[in-house]
Amino acid sequence: MALSVLTSLEPSCRTALLVMHSNEGTVLCPFFSKCDGLLIIDPESGSREFRAKEQDTAEAMCDLILKAGVHRLVLGFIGGPAARKLRAAGIDIRLGSGAVAVEDLVIGFNDLPAA
């Protein structure tokens, strides 16, 4: 069977970041379920999409991330149960700093420490 041209053997490089909005712009949030939402950046196309969180729970945040269909996630902190749930779904979780621009976190994803 031939593969479709649209079929990709590699996971997408689209990267989700848990972010909060501040006077300085959008920055990485240090708290898992307390962030404003999920910023999804596709480094290949340059597209950015923000998805606001609906509830302040770890379970709701996990669901938001899973529904986004990303395979890469950058955040400031994640608890054990949430990390296990996301890893089981095939998401590569990395730790970043709010002192670094979100675009730079996406570009340097492979150099970030695993969560």
Query: Residue 4 falls within a domain, yes or no?
Result: no
Range of the domain at 80: 15-111
DSSP three-state, residue 18: strand
pTM, full prediction? 0.87
Mean pLDDT for the stretch of residues 84-90? 97
Residues 44, 105: Cα–Cα separation, whole Å: 14
What pLDDT sits at residue 1?
Answer: 39
Query: Residue 2 falls within a domain, yes or no?
Result: no
Among 44-48, 75-79, 80-84, the range scoring the smallest mean pLDDT is 44-48
Residue pLDDT, tens place only, 9-46:
355 789 999 999 988 789 999 999 899 999 999 988 88
Query: Residue 1 falls within a domain, yes or no?
Result: no
Query: Residue 5 falls within a domain, yes or no?
Result: no
Q: Is 37 left (phi over 0), alpha (psi -120 to 50) or beta?
A: left
- CATH number for position 72: 3.30.420.130
Is residue 22 within 8 A of residue 30, CB to CB? The reply is no
Query: Residue 3 falls within a domain, yes or no?
Result: no
What pLDDT sits at residue 11?
Answer: 55
Residue 4 has pLDDT above 80, yes or no: no
Query: Residue 9 falls within a domain, yes or no?
Result: no
Residue 8 has pLDDT above 80, yes or no: no
Query: Residue 59 falls within a domain, yes or no?
Result: yes
Query: Residue 103 falls within a domain, yes or no?
Result: yes
The total number of structural domains that make up the chain: 1
Amino acid at residue number 103: E
Residues 28, 39: Cα–Cα separation, whole Å: 9
